[in-house]
Amino acid sequence: MPCFHHKTIMFFKWHLLCVLSLLLQPCLATAQNNGTVRVGQYISAADNSQPWFSPSRDFAFGFHKLDNKDLFLPAIWYYKIPSKTIVWYASADNPAPRGSRLQLTADRGLVLDGPDGQELWKSGITMSAAASGFLYDEGNFLVADANSEMLWQSFDEPADTLLPSQIMERDGVVSSKRSQTDFSRGRFQFRLLQDGNAVLNTINLPSGTAYDAYFWSNTYDQNRSNAGLRVVFNESGYLYVVRENNQRVLLTPETIVPSQENYHRATLNFDGSFVLYTHPKNTNGNNGIWSVIRTMPDNICVNNDIREGLGGGICGHNSICTLNSLRRPNCTCPKGFSLLDPDDPYGNCKPDFIQGCEEDEGKSGEDLYYIEELKSTDWPTSDFERLTPSSREDCESSCLKDCLCSASVFRIDTCWKKKLPLSYGKMDPDDGGTAFIKIRKGEANGKKKRNIIILVGSVLLGSSMFVNLILGAATCLGLLIVNQKKLTRTQPHEGVSHMNLRCFTYKELVEATHGFKEELGRGAFGTVYKGFMDIAPNNLVAVKKLDRVFHDCEKEFKAEVNVIGQTHHRNLVQLLGFCDEGKNRLIVYELLSGTLASFLFGDCKPNWKLRTDIAMGIARGLLYLHEECCTQIIHCDIKPQNILLDDYYNARISDFGLAKLLTLDQSHTSTAIRGTKGKDDWIFSLKMILMPSMTLISCRGL
């Protein structure tokens, strides 16, 4: 059926439902169960408030509570799917406090008022004409007047999702969320431009200025005689652009699963990927997992048509975008850089060192910096010089000697020198180029301090014999302290026999974590911080600060660290070292990509093969802890947050063997077995992977 009849069909449905609602008026007095909402009906922002339902209860309209906040958003979601999949929301930049009210009024339409009566949001109605509302089985909420004429509908103001039967006209916009849990406006848009092209682009926050597109439908027409007219997501689940001559340009594959048995949605995710999903309507055994039909663009990190070069790209300034196995972007800071906002892994990166011609004071670049080589990496919009012809060695050397140069990229016989900030960073396996990034040497910053010390010492040494004697004694004492620290650093503490473990001083770990600045997470054993050390393959470590262990049991701590340090298995997180200094007890691990929790419970779910691979990896790790390592270890705190994934999605168990270190109010340990003796945690791997809604399984709770 032609798409431009959509609203006519909606009006016909509305008239029919109004007649039915009159016949069902006695039933509506007790409950709203056929989609109709009368003027005066409202929903309160509370934990267990009853939503409004569509006739089939495919959709619910009510309040969604924001994570870790006592704030709510009016939202529409799939009601029959176990995992709450939200398809529309409003007032994201001004969430509603508890006790707020969403009400259908005659003079303002659908309105959200705070507990104090202050208006937080309302539907776009300016006349006192609203008579009733209706939530359709398509997920659209409509407000109409007494003549059943439409005044407003949620389909005209989409959030981050399009649904079957929804149409987006020219200048229509779908905006992403800021993050997985932050529903405020994000950096990405899906738009239908006036020239007829449907595009994905980044924007500047908070102004909303649109930057270059990184995906386009190629439906523009300079003469506009056959340009794209509207974006249609039809009832069968096909998403396409309709041209002026009614020709369809598909954005979905040629064949998709039938809509009679499956739900469909198209969501612009917070990371900029526009994904078409499907989910069986019969949810038995599915647990709310959406399957991916198509991800647009096919490779979000690679963009070969950047014109203006404004904005940081998919991953922000100075960052590098890589594509994961689900065709979604991963963003990482290069060595020598760290996140500007530790809570935004997709944001800008800042250099951890000072660079510039004034800061370098005319010194040679070879003395101040070293080069980190990055294969197949480029920041294509940050050039300030091009050298042709050039060799690989000349490209590296030229940037190292140039105080204005922050990085260079060599490809074939051409060298591009680049300045900060580096934009649109990407890693493309098909790109034969090599990037050279300049990083300030660690000892360079300390050179000035050492020079000052030498100068002051020279003056003092020439002042008097008495001062010389004092300084000589102080020097000897200093040498003894330094040597003692070296011995402490290179030799394990008594009781720790494993030679691969390194004993750190507390000061070293403070410096490695920049004063425990970037927190990665919290758990029963303490807080984990991000650190930078050359003992790890990628120079990144996780420093766990144990703040709830026995502070008066040094022997116990060393014994437990010794046991953990002697474990070696591909499915266990590797312990690199520890600190046992006074009341400070810290453990240093290798830093991995992320937790299983964030992977399992995100929008894009892993397929069954990947799930079984992860489950088998966890099982192998548990088998090793239970039966194969020298001392039996029972974990006792197995949960998705304690399972880490490396870059290849291999499961790695963390925090094993730490339960015995907990204070008495946290652990019942009384045996030689590490952990709390209880029911076996073998079954965790199967339960957690196959039932992703489960967030905590412990050996005592099974």
The count of C-alpha atoms lying within 13 angstroms of the C-alpha of 305, restricted to the half-sphere facing its C-beta, is 10
| Residue linked to tokens 């004071």 | 361
Which CA distances in Å does 168 have to 120, 125, 230, 274, 594? 26, 20, 6, 15, 36
Of the two residues 308 and 532, the one the predictor is more confident about is 532
Q: Given its phi and psi angles, is residue 309 left (phi above 0), alpha (psi -120 to 50 degrees) or beta?
A: left
pLDDT, position 234: 96
**Highest mean pLDDT pick, 110-124, 291-305, 642-656:** 110-124
Of the two residues 22 and 314, the one the predictor is more confident about is 314
pLDDT, position 477: 57
The answer, yes or no, to whether the previous bond of 389 is cis (omega within 30 of 0) is: yes
pLDDT, position 2: 39
Instruction: Report the 10 Å Cβ neighbour count for 632.
Output: 16
pLDDT, position 612: 85
Look at residue 552 and tell me whether its pLDDT is greater than 70: no
Which CA distances in Å does 490 have to 77, 87, 417, 485, 534? 58, 57, 42, 9, 15
Lowest-confidence range among 427-431, 504-508, 657-661, 663-667?
Answer: 663-667
Calculate the average pLDDT of the chain: 80
Q: Where are the alpha helices (DSSP H) in 533-683?
A: 554-565, 596-600, 608-623
pLDDT, position 59: 97
Residue 310 CB burial class (10 angstroms; 0-12, 13-18, ≥19): middle
pLDDT, position 363: 84
User: 207-234 pLDDT, tens per residue?
Assistant: 889 998 999 999 988 777 789 999 999 9
Instruction: Report the 10 Å Cβ neighbour count for 561.
Output: 27
One-character DSSP codes across 349-371: EEESS--SHHHHTT--HHHHEEE
**Residue 529 bridge partners (DSSP):** 519, 543
CA distance 379 to 375: 12
| Average pLDDT of span 571-590 | 87
| Average pLDDT of span 67-92 | 93
Contact 610, 584 (CB under 8 A): no
| Average pLDDT of span 362-368 | 85
Q: Which amino acid is at 528?
A: V
Structural Rg of the chain based on CA atoms = 30
pLDDT, position 676: 38
Q: Where are the alpha helices (DSSP H) in 491-570?
A: 506-512, 554-565
Which CA distances in Å does 34 have to 27, 63, 319, 681? 10, 19, 50, 46
Contact 76, 60 (CB under 8 A): yes
Give the whole-number percent of the chain exceeding pLDDT 90.
46
User: 155-208 pLDDT, tens per residue?
Assistant: 999 999 999 999 999 999 999 999 988 999 999 999 999 999 999 999 998 888
Instruction: Report the 10 Å Cβ neighbour count for 367.
Output: 10
pLDDT, position 312: 86
Annotate 154-191 with three-state secondary structure. HHHCCCCEECCCEEEECCCEEEEECCCCCCCEEEEEEE
Look at residue 470 and tell me whether its pLDDT is greater than 60: no
The pair of structure tokens assigned to 587 is: 């453990």
- pTM metric for this prediction: 0.62
Look at residue 448 and tell me whether its pLDDT is greater than 50: no
The pair of structure tokens assigned to 222 is: 């300079």
pLDDT, position 524: 65
Contact 239, 251 (CB under 8 A): yes
Active site residue 637: yes
Of the two residues 111 and 474, the one the predictor is more confident about is 111
How does residue 20 score in pLDDT terms, banded at 50, 70 and 90? very low
- H or E element, residue 691: none
Q: Which amino acid is at 173?
A: V
Residue 143 CB burial class (10 angstroms; 0-12, 13-18, ≥19): buried
| Average pLDDT of span 366-382 | 92
| Average pLDDT of span 462-491 | 48
Look at residue 692 and tell me whether its pLDDT is greater than 80: no
The pair of structure tokens assigned to 690 is: 């196959």
Roughly how many angstroms between the first and final C-alpha of the chain, as a whole number? Answer: 54
pLDDT, position 141: 97
The pair of structure tokens assigned to 133 is: 């509302």
Annotate 226-261 with three-state secondary structure. CCEEEEEECCCCCEEEEECCCCEEECCCCCCCCCCC
User: 644-684 pLDDT, tens per residue?
Assistant: 888 777 888 887 766 555 443 444 443 344 443 333 444 54
| Average pLDDT of span 427-437 | 89
Q: Which of 290, 269, 314, 61 has the alpha carbon at shortest distance from 174?
A: 269
The 3-state DSSP class for residue 451 equals helix
Look at residue 25 and tell me whether its pLDDT is greater than 70: no
pLDDT, position 184: 94
pLDDT, position 492: 41
Lowest-confidence range among 85-99, 456-470, 561-575?
Answer: 456-470
Catalytic residue among 160, 212, 271, 637: 637
Look at residue 277 and tell me whether its pLDDT is greater than 80: yes
| Average pLDDT of span 27-55 | 81
Look at residue 136 and tell me whether its pLDDT is greater than 90: yes
